[in-house]
Amino acid sequence: KSAESEISPLFVEDSIYFSGVAEKYLKNSNRKKTKTEVYNIYSAAIDQEGKISSSRKLVPGFGNDYHEGPVAYCKATGELFITVSNINDFDKVQKMAPVENIRLELAIFKKNNGRWEMAEKLPFNDKRYHFAQPAISITGDTLIFSSDLKVVNYGETDLFMSVRNNGK
């Protein structure tokens, strides 16, 4: 439990993963004024009764200076589908560009030697639009996500679907 926002829980192996306000921003009084909501991916252990049995800890491979989460996990493929920002140093970019110019993208992470690493960013990401809140089918072939993509958008943000064919 923290004093800040924690969202989008999901089970990954024997833990619960969730997105939470990054540690470095927890006590930053300027964060609310500058609309800085940078999330990282955290986990907590689950006991045999399904109760949380540890404090939150940063998941190995996460904790960068950019937004991470929400996340979806596919047990069949061992992949995490994650919302990330299209920048890699939030503090520097925030000083140079308004937060409104930072866009969200979708990426796939895979575990390598106990640490999650970005395998790829999805090919339809576009720096003019947000792509976020992934949900993946249990087979790992159908992804549902939200976007403000204007080409076929019926509202401000709508749901879209992407199907994986032949590994793409």
Tokens of 161: 């679907």
Nearest to 66 by CA among 43, 42, 44, 41: 41
Read off the pLDDT band of 12 (50, 70, 90). Answer: very high
CA atoms within 13 A on the CB side of 110: 8
**What is the residue-averaged pLDDT of the chain?**
84
Amino acid, single-letter form, for residue 71: V
* SS3 (DSSP) at 93: helix
Read off the pLDDT band of 33 (50, 70, 90). Answer: low
pLDDT given for residue 3 in this prediction: 62
Can you tell me the mean pLDDT for 153-166? 86
pLDDT given for residue 75 in this prediction: 95
Residue-wise pLDDT tens digits, 104-148: 999 999 999 999 999 999 999 998 899 999 999 999 999 999 999
Tell me if the bond preceding 134 is cis, omega within 30° of 0: no
Phi, psi (degrees; rounded to nearest 5) at 100: -65, -20
Residues in the chain: 168
* SS3 (DSSP) at 32: helix
Can you tell me the mean pLDDT for 41-50? 90
What CA–CA distance (Å, rounded) separates 53 from 50?
Answer: 9
User: What is the per-residue burial (b if ≥16 Cβ within 10 Å, else e) of 73-86?
Assistant: bbeebebbbbbbbb
Residue of 122 and 167 predicted with greater confidence: 122
